[in-house]
Every structure is written in C-alpha cells, then in structure tokens.
Amino acid sequence: MKQQNRSKSTLFLMELIIVIFFFSICAAICVNVFGSAQQMARDSHNLSNAVMAARSAAGCYKSADGDISTAVELLDGAMSADHGIVYYDKEWQQVASADESSFYLLIDPLEQPGEAAVAVFENDGEEDALFQLQVKTSRGGGAYAE
C-alpha cells in the first residue's frame, strides 16, 4: 500500500513541475509580447508627431514663400549655417537647445530655388530620419512626402 501511494505522489509532483514549467514559459512569452507592443506604440507615437512637426514646418516654409529664416522664425527655431533647426523634447514640446532635446527638425534648402527638405531626426546619433518631406513653394509646386 505504501509503495503505491509513493508512486502516485511522485507522479503528481512531476506533473505539477511540468505544469509550472509550462506556465512559466507562457508567462515569459506574454511579457515579451507586451514589451514589444509598448515599444511599437512608442515608435508609432513618435512617427505621428514627427509627421505633424514636418508638415507644420512645410506650411511655414510655404507661407514664407521659400525663405528658410522666416519659416524658422515662425516655428520659433534657430538658424544654423544655411539650414533651420527646431528642437523637441521627448514629449514633443519645443525646447531651446540641443542639450534638452530628444528630437530635432531640419529645414535644408535644395538645389532649386523655392525648394527645401524638411526632416525630423531622433537625437540619438542615428542618421536616419523619422520622417522626411520635400517642399516646393508656389513657384515650384506643392509639398509631397518621400
């Protein structure tokens, strides 16, 4: 009788360990999925704000009739060499300097008069733009995304 009870309890413990192991693996997979979903939501939020900032800058450039310095004044940004720059923090609020910023917007003139490239970058050293837009004034056409 004792021999049969011992084998049943051993079998029960082994089944319990297997079930706990299975649920642990499932929990780890769920945590990973939720973590990647949160990162995707953050990236989507940043892209959406980058598009809005670039379109706003394109509108200012067009209303300034292709004058980058006037467009940068309308955006409360700064001129640096021949391009305009506007800095944003991680909450997409405009800030005064690069030290406080997480993102920045550049307005660069293109070869043709009245044309410029508006690009939004993350301030993490990467050279890839979050969003880029080419703008032409009324002399050159309309704005379009790349």
Q: What is the pLDDT of residue 40?
A: 95
Q: What is the pLDDT of residue 11?
A: 87
Q: What is the pLDDT of residue 89?
A: 93
Q: What is the pLDDT of residue 18?
A: 95
CA proximity to 130, closest of 106, 101, 95: 106
146 residues of the chain, pLDDT tens digit each: 455 666 778 888 999 999 999 999 999 999 999 999 999 999 999 999 999 999 999 999 998 888 888 999 999 898 988 889 999 999 999 998 888 899 999 999 988 888 999 999 998 877 888 999 999 887 644 444 44
What pTM did the predictor assign?
0.73
Sequence letter at residue 23: F
CA proximity to 75, closest of 84, 83, 66, 45: 84
CB 118 within 8 A of CB 107: yes
Q: What is the pLDDT of residue 142?
A: 45
Determine the straight-line distance between the first and last CA of the chain, rounded to whole angstroms.
79
Rounded Cα gap, residues 94 and 11, in angstroms? 64
Q: What is the pLDDT of residue 5?
A: 61
